[in-house]
Structure formats: structure tokens, C-alpha cells
Amino acid sequence: MKFFARASVLASALSCLPLLVPAARAAGDGESAILVLDASGSMWGQLQGRTKIELARDAVDGMLKQWPADQSLGLIAYGHRRKGDCEDIEVLRPAQGFDAAAIRSQVNALTPKGMTPISASVRMAAEQLKFTEHKATVILVSDGEETCNADPCALGTELEKLGVDFTAHVIGFDLPEGKAREQLQCLAKNTGGEYFEARDAGELTKAISEAVSASTTPEPVLGPAPASVRAEGPAIITQPVEVHWTGPGEKGDYLAFVDPTKESANAWGETMLRIPTQNGSSAEGVSSGVLKLDAPAHPGRYELRYVSDTREPPVLAKTVVEVSDAVSVIEAPDTAEAGGSITVVARGPADPRHWVGFAPAGSDVSTYLKNYYERPTGDVSTLKLNVPAEPGAYEIRYVLNEGERVLGSKPITVVAAKTSVSGPATVMAGDRVKVSASGPSSNRHWIGFAPAGSGAGAYVGGAYDRPQGSKSELTINTPLEPGAYEYRYVLDEGEAIAASQAVTVTAATAEMSIAANVTASTALNVPFRGPRNTSNWIGFVPRGGDGSEYAGWSYVPAQGDVVELRAPDDAGSWDLVFVVDSMVISRTPVQVSAGVSP
């Protein structure tokens, strides 16, 4: 199960991000870099009415216009040739010179298909750049999580250790908060690179532009500069703290809460915030301002620091701040029925990055369950939570910053739902059948057919319905193909099968009664017997026809054994047919004679 959360974006120097990184080392004039581009299947996803691969092509086109002509640029793509293949990585252009037209053509020809081997692709790029011998820069654009059993974070540490000066600038494109984003942030951090977040076309173009700037613009190393930093008012975990600062206000400057017992002098902070650029990289002048920086998620004594990314020493000012804890109280029942819902009252700090919901008892702080959480709405939140489909021991947790800390929890036992489902033991294909069921009601659950012995996620399209309450009497379409099936009561769109009963679906058959000769254009009452799926129909087709040409037809009625038809207007040889799913399952020859003129 996965948890998807609010996304944030590095859009300008005014952005507020808890994991913003310092400015990266520059590649410098005449050096080489490689663009690693995600062409996995997920790049067919759409944003603002266009596919992500189309948006990426546009953004790369802008990048090529910005890239210095004297700096080599190569191209590697992954996931563009084969599905399900973690080795689908291709060097489309080595980092030997710069040919914008060739790179543009190769990017435009990519067709997303497969997996997301991020780590192997970045490693290949590093090796192409001979990173153990020369300074090497990689720009990675990815919209997904590593899917090939590798850890981009660990790879970043390895490449940084082995390389002469290896840097990866990473652009996360339309990524939810969680593991995928954390992987890419860590890859950038561990190589001294920058991480950029982009949620739409404009942000992607800007992020790539900033990545190019970080890769190609040497940054001067300046000396000390006057600065000060002060926290106003109390500091409470995860809550905004008003910070008054003075300093040079240069590109890359940031404020950070740092645990002095764990971090080095120029380390990343527990939380960080860029300072708006005031006067470029000028060594003179002092700016000032007030910003709100989120306090860390854990209480304790921290240093609030003003840090420069272009000066030595980097810490220009610091002060000690005591961050106090908050209290969380969760009111919830001791037990809940699987697949149902409960009301929870949660007390604690409110923030769009916090959540209240289910996690397996004793699981790691980062564990989460998709669809079984809500965001706190204030200091006291009354929330309706979906209950997991699998019985077992859980906790209702108040989690800070998408998994950084569990502020409070309450144990809860999820018990099996009292469910049942029943219907006739044998039904006809393409028919309708009455099914009785009882159990938890939700628009995430369904009652209907699935192939016998199939997994919980299997279903038959069009052959199910949603429960109508704790007790349901449903009329459901039967499968179109004969065979062994099950009636099922399924929770959470396939999380668990709560109840089932075997059912055999027999081949569709039908009978119709009509005179051998009828008069053109006359009204007819035709008795019939056959399956009653609402898409089935009875009508006339030219003798031997497959149903693609027809006349005088009607859908099979839900009730009754007679259908009203009009004989064809044209005299000749016709068949009366019974059609199920565009297939003629029964036909009766009929001769249509011309009517008598008045």
C-alpha cells in the first residue's frame, strides 16, 4: 500500500522547502555533463492535457538553447525500448561535444514503455564521464520511483566517495511526497547536487533551466560577511517560527535549524529555507528580512543558522533556540470492522504535511497505508477514516511531516467484517442475476463476478455493482464467457475478498417464436426465451447476416417474455436473431412478403 501526499516545488528563491539543498558545485567551462531522461511507461501520464513526455521534450528543447556551446553534453534514456526490462538503458549520445539538433531529435523520438532503473542509469552516466578520473556532472529528470531493486540514495554516497568530483542535479517531475521523492532528494544531496521539484510544464522548464545554471556557472568563493539571525516568539515542533535575519542575501543563502550534536558546521538542517536573493553575489552590502521557518519535528536545543553557499566559512551567524514539544491525543474505538469506517478525534499541530490514520502495529515511523488516512484540520480534528480491509493489529497514528515522527498513537484491532454473498449456483452467460449480500458499505467495495481461484484484484468488467448498505439485493450482469466463476464481496477495490460463492456460467442460448412468413412493415409480438443483459437485442438481419446490418429490432426487455418488433420494410429472405455482445446466438429464418397496396 502506498501513501500519496501534498507536493511542494522549488519555484524561486522565495520557496519554502523542508529539504532544500545548498547550491551545487559547478561543472565549469569545457567540462562534460550527461542528461539522463526518464522514458518509462509512466511518462505517458498527462498534466494540463498533455503527456509528460511531450512536456519533457519541450523543456529539453529550452535546455539545449541555454547550454553553453563549449561544454559537452551527452544523453542517456531509460525505459524507452522494452517493457519490464531493468536493463533498458541506452547511451543515445556520448558527452563528446555539443550537438543540440542531434539531442533534440533523439529526445523527440523517445517512446515511453518500461521500467525505471534510476540507479543503473546514473551509474552508467558516471562511467561514461569517467567520474573516477575527471569532474563529472549528471542532470537526471524522473517522474517515478526506482523500480529495479536499487537504492539511488546509496548510489549517490558511493559515486561521491569514488569520484574525483561527481555531482548529480535531480529534477523530480510530478512526484508525490514519499519514497520516490526522498530517493531523488538523497541522490542529489549525497553528491552535492541540487534537487528541483516540478509539478507542471512551467515548473519543469524552470527546474531544468536552474539545473543547467547549477551545472555550467562557476560560483565564486567569497570571504566572511556580516550577518545576524534571531527567532521571535516560542518555537514549537513543526510550527512556523518567525526568524529575523540580516546578511548578504546572496544566491544559495539559507536559514536552518541544526542539531549541533549531530551536524557539522556547514551541514544541512533539520529544516531549511532559502533566503530571497537581494544583491546577487556582491561581497558588499547587508540586507535584512523576516521569514517563517518550520521548527524541527523533535523537541530539543537547536542552532538557528544563517548559512552561505558561496562563502568561507559558510555559517555567517547562529543562535540557540529551544524547540518545545506538542501533545497529541487520539480518541478512537478499540476495534473496527474491516472495510468499514470510523470517526476519530485527534488533537495536535495542524499542517498539510501531517496525517492521522492507520499503520500496522509496531511498524516503522515511515510506514503508511494508502487510502486510510486524513489530514488534520486544526488543533482539534474530527476525522472519518476508512478501515483497512485486512484484519489485524493496527495503530491510529498522528504522524508529522509525512513520516518524520509519530507524535501520538492509539492501538486498534481490525476484526473481520461479517459479510456474505449468495446467488444461483448456475447462470447463463450474458444474462442478469439477482445476488444477495451483506457487509460493510462503501463506494470502494464491490459485489459481483470474478474468475474462480483468481486473486483479490481480479474482476469481470460490467459484471459487478456497489453495495447499497449493510444489506444489498442487486441485479448484476453475468459474464459473457462461460466457465467457473465466483460471486464475491470485495473490499477496497481488491484489497481483500470478504465473502465468496462458487457459480458456473453456462453458454448463452435463446429461442424465439415467429411465423415463417410475415408481411413487410407490420407490427409483431415475438415470444422469446434467452439471457437478459441490457445490451442484448432481438431483430431482423438479412439472411445469414452477422448483425452488423439490421432492421426492426429492440433491446431485450428486463421483464416479460414477449418483445415488440416491426417487420422489415423490404420484402425478401431475413433472419430473426438474438444477439449477445455483438454475437448472434440464435437465428430463425423468416420470409417477408410485400404488403397489399390500397
CA angle 9, 12, 15 (to 5 degrees): 55
Nearest 5°: phi and psi at 319?
-150, 155
Q: Which CATH class is domain 228-324?
A: mainly beta
The closest alpha carbon to 118, from 138, 94, 92, 93, belongs to: 138
For 87-164, strand residue ranges (E) read 89-93, 135-142
CA angle 17, 21, 23 (to 5 degrees): 125
Are 339 and 439 in contact, with CB atoms under 8 Å apart? yes
Element (H, E) at 333: none
343: cell is 470517526
Q: Which residues pair with 584 in a beta bridge?
A: 579
Going from the C-alpha of 279 to that of each of 219, 247, 248, 256, the distances in angstroms are 15, 10, 7, 21
Q: Which CATH class is domain 420-506?
A: mainly beta
Q: What is the pLDDT of residue 304?
A: 95
How far, in Å, CA of 4 to CA of 441, rounded?
Answer: 24
How far, in Å, CA of 394 to CA of 221, rounded?
Answer: 53
The closest alpha carbon to 67, from 27, 126, 15, 121, belongs to: 27
Q: What is the pLDDT of residue 250?
A: 83
Q: Is the domain 511-593 a CATH 3.40.605.10 member?
A: no
Element (H, E) at 228: strand 228-232
577: cell is 436473431
Q: What is the pLDDT of residue 254?
A: 84
Task: Write the CB contacts of 402 (distance below 8 Å, at least 6 apart in sequence).
Answer: 3, 5, 177, 178, 353, 355
Q: What is the 3-state secondary structure (H, E, C) of 281-315?
A: CCCCCCEEEEEEEECCCCCEEEEEEEECCCECCCE
Are 394 and 413 in contact, with CB atoms under 8 Å apart? yes
Task: Write the CB contacts of 225 (distance below 8 Å, at least 6 apart in sequence).
Answer: 247, 248, 283, 286, 308, 311, 316
Domain ranges of the chain: 32-216, 228-324, 329-415, 420-506, 511-593
Q: What residue ranges of the chain have pLDDT lower than 50?
A: 1-30, 264-267, 279-283, 597-598
Are 386 and 444 in contact, with CB atoms under 8 Å apart? yes
The closest alpha carbon to 64, from 75, 50, 80, belongs to: 75
Q: What is the pLDDT of residue 266?
A: 41
Q: What is the CA radius of gyration of the chain?
A: 33
Q: What is the pLDDT of residue 165?
A: 72
Nearest 5°: phi and psi at 179?
-60, -45
Q: Please tell me if the domain spanning 32-216 has the same topology as the one spanning 420-506.
A: no
How far, in Å, CA of 478 to CA of 505, rounded?
Answer: 8
How far, in Å, CA of 530 to CA of 556, rounded?
Answer: 9
How far, in Å, CA of 464 to CA of 452, rounded?
Answer: 15
Are 72 and 97 in contact, with CB atoms under 8 Å apart? yes
Note the pLDDT tens digit of each residue in 104-156: 999 999 999 889 999 999 999 999 988 877 778 999 998 888 889 889 988 98
Instruction: Provide the 3-class DSSP secondary structure of residue 426.
Output: strand
Q: What is the pLDDT of residue 31?
A: 67
Q: What DSSP letter does each residue of 520-579 carry, written as one string? A: TT-EEEEEEES---TT-EEEEEETT--SSS-EEEEEPPSS-SEEEEE--SS-EEEEEEEE
How far, in Å, CA of 95 to CA of 28, rounded?
Answer: 15
Are 303 and 319 in contact, with CB atoms under 8 Å apart? yes
Structurally, at CATH architecture level, domain 32-216 sits in 3-Layer(aba) Sandwich (3.40)
Q: What is the pLDDT of residue 173?
A: 87
Strand pairing report for 373-374 and 355-360: antiparallel
How far, in Å, CA of 98 to CA of 131, rounded?
Answer: 19
CATH number of 329-415: 2.60.40.1930
Going from the C-alpha of 248 to that of each of 192, 263, 277, 307, 308, the distances in angstroms are 22, 24, 9, 10, 9
The closest alpha carbon to 399, from 342, 344, 328, 304, belongs to: 328
